[in-house]
Structure 1
Amino acid sequence: MPRFITRVELKDSENADYTALHNEMESRGFARTIVGRFKGPPQRDVVCDLPNAEYWFSADDAKIEAVRDLAKDAAIAIKKKARVLTVEIKTYCFVGLDEATEEAGTE
């Protein structure tokens, strides 16, 4: 299953704009969390919040252009000027992310 990280920046925005963006992105299947392996001890899966304005997306047969367009549509619903970057990922690792308090959108 293809996996993507998308970053969205709203030009000339306020905090309320990003709150609205989060809702728009989530309604289109994006998540603000990611799952990683905590090496412990004990070893366990850990759900972490992505950095601000970054989103996770995964779906069967998803194409990178379609994922970018989903994010673009969410962004322009909030602000007409936005920057969107979508990257398909094969593997990932992270450090320093905060453990999430909500369920992950990753598999």
Structure 2
Amino acid sequence: MKYTKEQRLDIGRRIYYSEISRYEAAEEYGISEQTSRNYMRMYRDANRLPPKRGQRSISALSFKKEPAELDELKSMTKEELIQELIKARITEARLKKGYEVKGDGTVILYASKTTK
């Protein structure tokens, strides 16, 4: 085992009290996300604490991976954000139907669907 029981309980304590997310713990300690979750459960059970339900950390979202894009969105006006949201929803709907529009809309790329 890589960590002693005391170290695992300490990692679990940090996760339980939201000092770090289980994803951050996995990265920091070189363990899997599932292992960090198990350490948190081990800590919780050892101290007879209630489960933490319904609390999600936003640290696992893609905002953390792309800070430049987030800064760009923060600098936009309300109207610009609405326009970007509309564009994103249109693109999503087109992709669901199996095609993508490039550039000004004159080039349409159709996805090749292989069904068995």
Does the alignment reach a TM-score above 0.5? no
Q: Which has the higher strand share?
A: 1
TM-score using structure 1 length: 0.30
In terms of fraction of residues, the more helix-rich structure is 2
- Relative contact order (alpha carbons < 8 A, sep ≥ 6): 1 or 2 greater? 1
